A and B are shown apart, each in its own frame.
Chain A
C-alpha cells in the first residue's frame, strides 16, 4: 500500500509529467477504438507545440531550456490533439496546436499568464474557422480505420465510411425524429460492452482512471471534476422527463468530452478559478453552459465554449469566493484596490 502524498508534487515540471502520465490510459483507449489517427494527431500537435513554444520564447529573448523541459508546451499539444476530431487532416492539427500555444499562451506572456485555456481557445478557433472539418471528421468507433485509412485521413482524404458526427451530434440531428427506443437500437448502443456507448465508454473509463490517479496524487482537487460531472448529471436528469426528445444522461456524461474535460481541461489552474470554492463554482458554471449550448446551441459539443466563457468569469469568481481569513469576521468579497 503506497501512502497518499501529503502535498502536491513539489515541481512544476513534475506536475506536467504526471498529467501526461495520467493521460496515457485515455490515449491508449482512444487509439484502440478510434484508430491510429489519434497518434498522428498527437505527434503533429506535440511537434507544433514545441516549435511554437521555442519560437515565441526566442522572440521574447527568454531562456528556452527551462520552459521546454517542463513539458508545459507538450501538454498543451496533447490536450488539443485529444480534443480534435480523430480523422482531422494535418493542417487542422497544426493550426490548432500553433494557435493554442501562440495565441492562447504566449500572447499573454507565456506559462502562468494566460487568462483562457489555450487548448480550448485553439479548439474554438478551429471550430469557427473550419466548422465542417471539426464536426464531420469524427471516427465512428464501430468502424475503426486501419493504419492506411487513418493516414490518408490525416493527409486530408478522409473516407465517409469511417467518419461522421459524434454521438452527441446524432442526438441533435438524426435521433431527433426517433423515439428513445428507436434510438437505442443503434448499433453504437446495442454492441456496447458495458451497456453505454461502444468505444466511448472505455475511453471515458480510461480518462476517469487517469483523473482519479491525479486526485490521489493531489495534482488536482476533486472540486472541478465533481462540480462538472454532477452538474451535467443533475441538469440532464432533470430535463430528461421526455426520453424521446432529451439526450440521455449517460450520453451527456460519456459521449462528449465530459470526463476528459472534467479531469484534464477544467483543471488547468492558470485559467480557472483558484480557490476550492471558486473551482466548484467554475465547474458548475461550465456544466450549466455546456448543457445549454449542447441542447439549444448550434454546436454539437460545447465544452470548449463553456470553458472559455467561464475562463472570462474566473477573475470575478475569484473575487467572490475568497476563504475567510483567520481573524476576520467574514471573507473579503468583491474586487478592490487599484491595479
Chain B
C-alpha cells in the first residue's frame, strides 16, 4: 500500500510529468489559458491516462508477451490509446458538449500526447504490476492536472497584469512555466524509486 502511495506521489510531484520530465507540454501550454477548460482537460487526461495505462498493461501481459511481439509495443499502445481517447471524446460529447467544444482539438491530441504514451511505456519499462501501472497512471494524471490547473490560475492573473509588451502572451507563459519547473525542483530527491 505504501508503495502504491509512493508511486502516486513520485509520479505526481517528484517526477512530475510536465515540469520534471517535460512530457505533455502541448496541452499544458494550449489548454491553460482558462481555469475551467484546464479543469476539463485535467479530468479528460486523468481518465485517459488511467484507462490507457491499464489497457497498455493488459495488452502487454496478455497479448504482446505471449505472442512475443514486444517490438509492436509502441504501435499497439498507440492504437489502444487512440481507442481510449475516441471513447472519451464520444462520451464527453454526450455528457458535456461545452467541455467538448472547449477541449476542442486537444482531446484528439491526447492520442498523440507523449505523456499518455510515456506513462504506458514507462510502466512496461519499470515492470510495474497491474495495480502499480494503474496507480502510476493516476499519479501522472494527478501531477499533470495539478500543474495544469495551477498554471491556468497563474495565467489568468498574467492576462490581467501589466506585462511588458514584448513578453505578453506565450512568451511570459513559457517563462512562468520555467519558473514553475524551478519550484518543482524542490521536490528533487524526495522519493527514490
Contact = CB atoms under 8 A, between A and B. Distances in A.
Asked if A and B touch directly (CB within 8 angstroms), the answer is yes
The prevalent SS among residues of B at the interface is: helix
Interface string B166-193: 0100001001100110111111111100
A204 B115 CA distance: 45
Interface residues of B, number: 33
Contacts of B187: 293, 297, 305
A313 B150 contact: yes
A189 B107 CA distance: 59
Interface in B135-186: 149-151, 153-154, 156-164, 167, 172, 175-176, 179-180, 182-186
Most buried by A among B156, B172, B179, B184: B179
Interface string B26-54: 00000000111000000000000000000
B186 A302 contact: yes
A107 interface: yes
A305 B183 CA distance: 5
A128 interface: yes
Interface in A298-337: 298-299, 302, 304-306, 308-309, 311-316, 319, 335
A110 B162 contact: yes
Given A306-B186, A335-B35, A296 B191 contact: yes
Interface of A: 60, 103, 106-110, 113, 115-116, 121, 124-125, 128, 289, 292-293, 296-299, 302, 304-306, 308-309, 311-316, 319, 335, 338-339
Interface of B: 34-36, 149-151, 153-154, 156-164, 167, 172, 175-176, 179-180, 182-191
5 contacts: A113-B161, A297-B188, A305-B183, A312-B154, A319-B35
